[in-house]
Amino acid sequence: MHQRKSKKILVYFFLLIIVSSISNNSVNNFKFNKTQKINISGLNENDNQKLLSDIQNLGLENIFFINKNEIVKLLNSNSLIERYEVFKKYPSTINIKIEKTNFYAKINNKGKTFLIGSNGKLTLSKSDYSELPYIFGKPNINEFLKFKKIIDESKISYKQIKDFYFFPSKRWDLKLEDDTLLKLPNNPTYETLNYLYEFLENYKVESINIIDGRIENQIILNE
């Protein structure tokens, strides 16, 4: 009886070894699919490639264990991106669809020219962008974007604007393409801009290049 019990124990012991070996081999030989491909669209070829390289540097070994926060942080820090969508296509592909920011103006920052994007971020200018107006002064970017929204709601076309002048008092002046300077009051509204626009449309005054609208419901002309 004791011998029979010992044999059973021995059989169970060998079975345990066999099962463990198979299980260990299965785990060791089983490899999760690595991220084989990352597709990025929305930027130009060079910027897509630069972003791809930055993402690959995150060490994305396995699509099932990707830290989404790392990708989000990287995308949010890119000044060219307005918004984005990230899709995991199993088993081994990531698709990133990007909407590029719109550039609204140029501004000097520490001796370098930057572009102000609709995302509220600054991008170092790599080309002339001569079609964009230049901002003189140091406004808060959100202040500028708020002011641009007021312009867009007015009758003045943004394309008419050649330069912006921002003062420490937080007041704006606008220089138009024909070099007419519009002096605006503090906290201008779209009604303020419409008032000046209608004056310009109705009264073509030669040799007048400064229109002072800083006082409510008054226009002062200067040569």
What CATH number does the domain containing 134 carry?
3.40.50.11690
pLDDT (average), residues 3-29: 45
42: containing domain: 37-100
Helix segments in the chain, DSSP class H: 2-29, 45-56, 68-76, 141-153, 190-202
Q: Would you say residue 13 lies in a domain?
A: no
End residue of a domain, out of 82, 100, 118: 100
Has residue 192 been placed in a domain? yes
Together in a domain, 117 and 138: yes
Q: Which residue has the higher pLDDT, 113 or 20?
A: 113
Q: What letter does residue 138 receive in the DSSP assignment?
A: -
pLDDT score of 58:
80
State the pairing for strand pair 134-136/161-166: parallel
Query: Does residue 19 sit within a domain?
Result: no
pLDDT at 5 over 60: no
Q: How high is the pLDDT of residue 4?
A: 57
Q: Over the stretch 49-99, which tens digit does the pLDDT of each residue have? A: 999 988 888 876 666 666 678 888 999 999 999 999 988 887 778 899 999
SS3 for 196-215 is: HHHHHHHCCCCCCCEEECCC
Whether residues 117 and 191 share a domain: the answer is yes
Q: What is the mean pLDDT of residues 211-223?
A: 83
Residue 143 is predicted with a pLDDT of: 94
Q: Among candidates 115, 118, 134, 138, which has minimal Cα distance to 126?
A: 115
- Compute the mean pLDDT over every residue in the chain, rounded to the nearest whole number: 83
pLDDT of residue 103: 97
Angle at 104 between CA 102 and CA 107, to 5 degrees: 125
Mean pLDDT of 148-154: 97
pTM as predicted: 0.77
Given this model, what pLDDT does residue 31 score? 45
> Which stretch of DSSP H or E encloses residue 96?
strand 93-100
The structure tokens listed for 148 are 């641009």
Sheet holding 81-89, edge to edge: 37-41, 93-100, 81-89
The band of 21, judged by pLDDT with boundaries at 50, 70 and 90, is very low
Long-range CB contacts (< 8 A, 24+ apart) of 137-144? Answer: 137/164, 137/165, 137/166, 137/167, 138/166, 139/166, 139/170, 141/116, 143/170, 144/104, 144/105, 144/116
pLDDT digits (tens, 9 = 90+) for 86-144: 888 877 788 999 999 999 999 999 899 999 999 999 999 988 889 999 999 999 999 99
d(CA 209, CA 181): 6
Tokens of 5: 């019990």
